[in-house]
Amino acid sequence: MEHSKQVRVLLLNDMEKLDKRLFRLEQGFELQFRLGPTLQGKDVTVYSNYPLPGNVYDRQTFHPLQWHNPTGREEDSDKFCKLDLKIAGSFQYHFMQCEQKSGEGYIVVDPVLRVGADNRVLPLDCIILQTYLAKCLGPFHEWEDSLKVAKESGYNMLHFTPLQTLGESRSCYSLADQLQLNPDFSRPGKVYSWDDVGKLVEKMRKEWNMLSITDVVYNHTAANSKWIQQHPECGYNLVNSPHLKPAWLLDRALWHLTCDVAEGKYAARGLPALIETDQQLNSIRGILSEEIYPRIKLWEFYQVDVDKAVKLFRALLTSGAQKKGNKCDPKHLITIQDPEYKRFGCSVDMDTALNTFIPQGNDPSAVEECCTWFCKRLEELNTEKHRQMDFHHEQAINCILGTMTYERLAGHGPKLGLVTKKDPIVTRYFTFPFKAMSLSEEEAMMHQPEKACYFLAHNGWVMGDDPLRNFAGPDSNVYVRRELICWGDSVKLRYGDKPSDCPYLWDHMKRYTEITAKHFHGVRLDNCHSTPIHVAEYLLDVARKVRPDLYVVAELFTGSEELDNVFVTRLGINSLIREAMSAYNSHEEGRLVYRFGGEPVGSFVQPSLRPLVPSIAHALFMDVTHDNESPIAHRSAYDSLPSSAIVSMACCATGSTRCYDELVPHQISVVSEERFYTKWNPKLNTPNPRDVNSQSGIIAGKKALNKLHQELAACGFLQVYVDQVDEDIVAVTRHCPHTHQSVVAVSRTAFRDPKICFYSKEVPQMCIPGKIEEVILEARTVERKAEPYCKDEKFINGLPQYTVEIREHIQLKESKIVKQAGVTTKGPNEFVQEIDFENLTPGSVIVFRVSLDPKAQESVGILRSHLIQFTPHFTSGSLPDDQAHPILKVPFASIAAKLSLADLNQILYRCDAEEQEDGGGCYNIPNWTPLKYAGLQGLISVMMDIRPKNDLGHPFCDNLRCGDWMIDYVSNRLIARGGPCAEVGKWFEAMFSYLKQIPRYLIPCYFDAILVGAYTTLLDAAWKQMSSFVQNGSTLIKHLALGSVQMCGVGKFPALPVLSPALQDVPYRLNTITQEKEQCCPSLAAGLPHFSSGIFRCWGRDTFISLRGLLLVSGRHLEARNIILAFAGTLRHGLIPNLLGQGTFARYNCRDAVWWWLQCVQDYCSIVPNGSAILQCPVSRMYPTDDSIAQPAGQVDQPLYEVIQEALQHHAGGINFRERNAGQQIDRNMRDEGFNIVAGVDPETGFVFGGNRLNCGTWMDKMGESEKARNKGIPATPRDGSAVEIVGLCKSTVRWLKDLSEKKLYPYKGLTVKKDGKEVTMTFSEWNQRIQDNFEKKFFVSENISDPNEQRPDLVHKRGIYKDSFGASSPWCDYQLRPNFPVAMVVAPELFTPKNAWKALEIAEKKLMGPLGMKTLDPDDMVYCGVYDNALDNDNYNLSKGFNYHQGPEWLWPIGYFLRAKLHFAKLMDQESYQKTVVLVKNVLSRHYTHLERSSWKGLPELTNENGQYCPFSCETQAWSISVILEVLYDL
């Protein structure tokens, strides 16, 4: 059963910086960090600043996280470290390797908000916020009457603009004193304090169930703040920021121009005080460029005093100053900016000058010539500075004129009128707290620190600027280019990098933050994108110390989601303000609802343990924000209600601003508005400007919508569907995935005023799936009799002539908006209600509550109750099943426990070829592709891709929605098989009987849930039948072990020859055709899909390379025994078949299969308890003699040891025969000589040898097929002579038999061989020693060029390697570097000198190792080609028809032996080598893990093209590829 705790897993990858991705988590979640493929095996430490239990959070304090390794083994791919998330905030993690930071990121944990006397949780998606301008609330004792409007309108959170003392401008965001409550709220005789505010906030929380948040303004203070005048270092002034001096001088020049224009001094030049035309603006352009700029000469602040510099240079030259270092290019001489920014105060580096301009002699003329050149370079530098300043001038003039156009000419602008000192040409950028004087007198003050410190830069914002850059810093030209949209009432605050840079400011703002956090439940970060991010981090940390579950919201204008995320993650912002007013039509408004929250209707159930995926920031979706225009001005009064309804259906926090609901038709300015809000008056009968009640504006409709929004979020209506019915009508569905109730809101927007614009009376019919239980509400904006709107002088009043006609919780037939509702059926249990509207006028909303048809509802409930056995997620909404099918009364785990692994092969896997052999096939999805497997894995692989993305539009889901074909396929396929498989099929059939009775749109979700529950239970059942190595192993081991189930099965026609009837524990079944008992031993497929069925399923070599890993290591000892004995029965000529062909169609054309078989017998004896008993097991000989015809089972039985001895004796005596039926009928490409099979043992070396130039008897068995390329019938890699891996396998077998013989467990001491015409015995001991004595001499290519053992030094092209073969007919083939020698290293490590072995392995790693496999040939070889294309048929001898199959492509199985060899010899080197090898092994295996996880075949391929590229001609999953990786893990 799945664990109900929510766990998210974050995979760490090398050098991965995720600071621009948002990871949102909730308190109570567990976050696990696991190593991704790039870090597996490496020594990684994860650090986090999430506090240890009992500790206080400190952003700068990081501590290492403890690794947990669930298996406790060296193979630790499952290891993780974790955080149990119990506190809210922003937390950082980073990870280190070798003392170097290797990656980092942030997580944001949401706060838990509580309301009411009972402290119940208010989920973030339940939030419905209303903004109040604090100054418009009036005296504090009257606040409750104004705030009650929010309570009675159904809001549960209030947002107050700052409650502090305001500055001169009276802007809500220009604060004169951050620590003092606005004295305007007090009354004569009663001064209110922060404690009074706190009491009101707490009363509202407990009694009104409302939380309160307020703004914090960190980046500026009011220009008239007393404290900034006392502490001017807290702003950007000309003392601490002298780089602003040129901008300040320009600002003063523009001020003087304002004074002159206001006094009419420029009227004669076409520039009056009242600017009304573009021509007058052009006059300003001329005045600025021809008069103002030439007068103030700003470029001089960036230039060098040429005369002074030349004079100094001449003096240095004359005094004999010498150059230091090499001669410099004149371009290296650059201007050094004067830090005080005085005119001509800049300088150059005189050392560089002396190194650049070097006199040709000591006479005065040479010195003068140098000075001339120096002077010329200085003039060039000054000219460049002049040119740069001209560029800034041009931009500044454009910005000035752009501002003036908006403020004085634009129709949508404020139309300021006359230029006056109150409304200057442009807003001043700096404060000037001194009496008026001339510009030249003012300039002198710039350099007087006692005065210049009071010239403070105003704040503002810069269009399109990087929000992470300080626009007032020394590297910014924003002020001198006049690019700042300036707030002339506020001074920008200068924090520096840390508290010690400006102690007063940091302390002042800390106290401000503490006051705010003490009294409010959350904060809105005003102008967040312009607040220095490190400052906001520090202050929010302060706030969270006071209130740990602080709710933080912000509005960001970065223009980039990535940049938004930087602020969200570092500051721990919980919600970003989004606005419906940004939508230009109803379609866009609906799109925003879909974007800002929820999942699609019918979404899949996600597991509780799953990857942590980036998300978009949680939205606080407002119909309008407080600093924007009233929507009525842009749309119409009729649109307020439907747009609010669309917003309220969003699955996120929602909000509005006070006066939107009262239909105030104009913007309420945060600067100039001084009127008060209206108060709640339930007794109000006729509209008046001072009071409101539920009949005012859209308040009644808003209350119903707000109540609905909170209910939907609280009751888990997480799924969202948005339907654009027509250009004005939007239908939003919220669906609960537990109860499958839906709420459908249909809103007819009115972006255009219905009074003057045409709206069709014909409204499209709507189809709503399910049964409409009730109309939750229907509301229309209507006109009523009232006095015309008149803007009140004291109160902010709305349009009195509009109200909402609303009816709640009525039956469909009582509706005044719905004309009629018909019921139609879409399917047997899917009812659809067809709705015809008659009064859905612009400005109308109707909301339906919809349930499933009662029968479907019951079926869903029963289905959920049966799914509880897999996960508690389905408890909610479940119903007991009183008439359950008997099979459903048994837990599915009990049914699964009765299945054998062969049954599980049928249920889970079976590719198309296997199924076709049994008369079936894999399910084919129309418009897509057939499934990879007929069993559950075929479906699960597709669903694993679809589920995390909720890709409900996928053809797979479409097929499920359209009909029951796939559902029936799953159950019928298994029922038809009979036996235990049929029980599983019947369980599915019973579950599907309920599935078929639910609406089609829900079928993908529940089909997935049924299959996932069954699939995971079946996997557990499989693992329980395997070895402890698998059962207690990592996820990687377990999933690789499933390769054993995937590859090992038995179909309708058993692939193995019949075993001896005398053998015990052989599985039997009843043949459905003959009705006779027959053996049904599972066989191993070589690979899927190409080698899975018929005579091409079983191959001797593939079977026995795969058997150790897939069957012995996994604990499937009986299947391993039966396969060993079945192949033993087919022994002929001392060989095991290459192609088994059930024994009767066997081909004995490979030299290595018999040695792999012998290795497996040895492995069986050593791994299986009492394994040596297999040697006595009866083998039913199909061919008792080399020439006998096939015998029936039991006719001739021999113990296995005799068969082993026969195989060895044949080799010792020499094997030489021609394949039966040689010719086209068995091989259409082979040339005649190739059918001649030769093998034997070299009496001198003891090496097994064999083959000829026209056949290929090892695993590298590609036979040429192309007539065009003339390679037909020629093996690409004959590898005749003694192949290195066969010599190793032989050595392993001989050594093992020597030991068995000495222990009296094997009755033979050796073999009979002919010597000098006589038969003599060659003992295993002698043979063993002979190989041992000769191997290094014959196979190692020494680094010593005069090595006496080297017979063909002319063919050596790489030293320090082991030859691929010895004695090949083409001698150069011996010297090719291939990945075969590690096989010998693993099975017979004693053959190798450790130092030589290590050297050879290092070369192989460098030259041959790819991402997943080993290159089959050295890339330096002239015939290397890493891309295999079996379809290519051209005249290229080396490539045509895939001739390069083993000449470069990267095969997976050799990498297993390479890694095992590396591990073995690393231990013999030193500890450091071993540790590095373990890292390498884990790193390589992680790539296999990644491939395994992503592969829809859930396996590892036969091969890849070079550098791990996909090869379309490869088997998608290969037995030996999986097996060898399991063996590596077993060794590790």
Which residues are catalytically annotated? 526, 529, 627
Query: How many Cβ atoms from other residues are within 10 Å of residue 97's Cβ?
Result: 14
Q: Which residues pair with 16 in a beta bridge?
A: 103
Q: Spell out where 1175-1258 has E strands.
A: 1178-1180, 1197-1199, 1215-1218, 1236-1241, 1248-1250
Q: Exposed e or buried b for every residue in 627-644, given b needs 16+ CB within 10 A?
A: bbebbbeebbbbbbbbbb
Tokens representing residue 987 in the block? 């369980």
* Helices marked H in 928-1060: 936-949, 955-962, 965-977, 979-995, 1003-1024, 1028-1031, 1035-1047
156: helix, strand or coil: coil
54 contacts: CB under 8 Å, gap ≥ 6: none
Of 296, 176, 237, the closest CA to residue 472 belongs to 237
CA distances from 349 to 358, 373, 374, 1219 (A): 15, 15, 12, 90
Exposed (0-12), middle (13-18) or buried (19+): which is 303, by Cβ within 10 Å? buried
**In the chain, what is the greatest distance between 2 CA atoms, to the nearest angstrom?**
134
CA distances from 777 to 622, 768, 844, 1475 (A): 21, 16, 11, 70
Of 397, 399, 419, the closest CA to residue 408 belongs to 419
Element (H, E) at 207: helix 194-207
Decide the pairing of beta strands 157-160 and 1087-1088.
unpaired
Q: Which residues pair with 458 in a beta bridge?
A: 491
Element (H, E) at 1384: helix 1381-1387
User: Cα angle vertex 600, ends 598, 603, to 5°?
Assistant: 110
| Residues 828, 736 contacting (CB under 8 angstroms) | no
Query: DSSP for 432-468?
Result: --S----HHHHHHHTT-HHHHTT-PBEEEEETT--TT
* Helices marked H in 848-954: 854-867, 892-897, 901-908, 912-917, 936-949
1289 contacts: CB under 8 Å, gap ≥ 6: 1152, 1155, 1156, 1158, 1159, 1383, 1384, 1387, 1388
| Residues 1278, 1447 contacting (CB under 8 angstroms) | no
Alpha-carbon span 389 to 570, nearest angstrom: 37
CA distances from 1329 to 1163, 1326, 1391, 1464 (A): 22, 5, 10, 22
Whether residue 1089 has a cis bond before it, omega within 30° of 0:
yes
| Residues 28, 18 contacting (CB under 8 angstroms) | no
Residue type at 204 in one-letter notation:
M
Element (H, E) at 517: helix 503-519
Alpha-carbon span 574 to 1036, nearest angstrom: 37
Residue type at 176 in one-letter notation:
A
Query: How many Cβ atoms from other residues are within 10 Å of residue 195's Cβ?
Result: 11
Exposed (0-12), middle (13-18) or buried (19+): which is 660, by Cβ within 10 Å? buried
